C-alpha cells in the first residue's frame, strides 16, 4: 500500500476550540483519524504530523521524499509567509496538495496569496474537513499516474 503524509501547520492543534465560526468544531484528532480511515479505503496508508515550528515542518518535508508517495499539506499561516517551506516543497521530488479548511480567497486580503501553491500540484480550500479528503483523493490520483 502506498504511504501518504498529511502535514498540519501552526495553530491547527487548536482546532475544535479556536475560531469555531471559521474552522468549525472538528478537532485535529478527528481529522487525523478520519483521514487515516479514508486513506485506507482508497489504498493509502496515511501518517499525520503537526507542528507550530517552521523548521520542524521543513525537516518533515525533507524526510518525506524517502517514505511517501506524496503529501497533503495545510501550511496554515505559513502559507502566506514562508519562502522556506515553499523552497522545501520544491526541493523534494514528490507531489504536494495544499489544503485549507476555510476559503482563504474570501478572507482577509493578506490570506489571498499563497507562497506555497506554485510548487504544489494544486490547492483545495473552503470545504472544511472535507478539504483533506479531497486532497487525499487528488494525491492518490497523482501517485497512481506516476507509476
Q: What is the pLDDT of residues 40-87, one digit of tens each?
A: 999 999 999 999 999 999 999 999 999 999 999 999 989 988 999 999
Contact, 75 vs 85, CB < 8 A? yes
> CB within 8 A of 28, min separation 6: which ones?
8, 12, 13, 15, 16, 50
Do 123 and 99 contact (CB within 8 A), yes or no? yes
Is the pLDDT at 24 greater than 90? The verdict is no
Distance between CA atoms of 53 and 147, rounded to whole angstroms?
Answer: 33
Residue 35 and residue 74 in contact, taking contact as beta carbons nearer than 8 Å: no
Give the pLDDT band (50/70/90) at residue 25. confident
Active-site annotation holder among 62, 68, 80, 100:
100
Split at pLDDT 50, 70, 90, the class of 108 is: low
d(CA 131, CA 98) in angstroms, rounded, equals 9
pLDDT of residue 50: 98
Catalytic residue among 23, 68, 78, 132: 23
Q: Which of 7-11, 103-107, 114-118, 130-134 has the lowest mean pLDDT?
A: 103-107
Residue 19 backbone zone (phi > 0: left; psi -120 to 50: alpha; other: beta): left
Catalytic site residue 23?
A: yes
Q: Are strands 96-100 and 44-50 parallel, antiparallel or unpaired?
A: unpaired
Residue 117 has pLDDT above 70, yes or no: yes
| Predicted confidence (pLDDT) at residue 105 exceeds the cutoff of 80 | no
Quote the CA–CA distance of 5 and 45 in Å, as a whole number: 8
Give yes or no: 132 in active site.
Answer: no
CA separation for the pair 141, 28 (Å, rounded): 25
Amino acid at each position: 500500500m502506498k504511504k501518504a503524509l498529511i502535514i498540519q501547520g501552526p495553530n491547527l492543534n487548536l482546532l475544535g476550540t479556536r475560531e469555531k465560526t471559521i474552522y468549525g468544531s472538528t478537532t485535529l484528532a478527528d481529522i487525523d483519524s478520519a483521514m487515516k480511515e479514508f486513506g485506507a479505503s482508497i489504498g493509502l496508508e496515511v501518517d499525520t504530523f503537526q507542528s507550530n515550528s517552521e523548521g520542524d515542518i521543513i525537516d518533515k518535508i525533507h524526510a518525506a521524499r524517502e517514505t511517501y508517495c506524496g503529501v497533503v499539506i495545510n501550511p496554515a499561516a505559513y502559507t502566506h509567509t514562508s519562502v522556506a517551506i515553499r523552497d522545501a516543497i520544491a526541493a523534494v521530488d514528490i507531489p504536494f496538495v495544499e489544503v485549507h479548511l476555510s476559503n482563504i480567497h474570501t478572507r482577509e486580503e493578506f490570506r489571498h496569496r499563497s507562497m506555497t501553491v506554485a510548487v504544489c500540484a494544486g490547492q483545495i480550500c473552503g470545504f472544511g474537513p472535507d478539504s483533506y479528503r479531497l486532497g487525499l483523493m487528488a494525491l492518490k490520483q497523482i501517485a497512481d499516474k506516476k507509476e
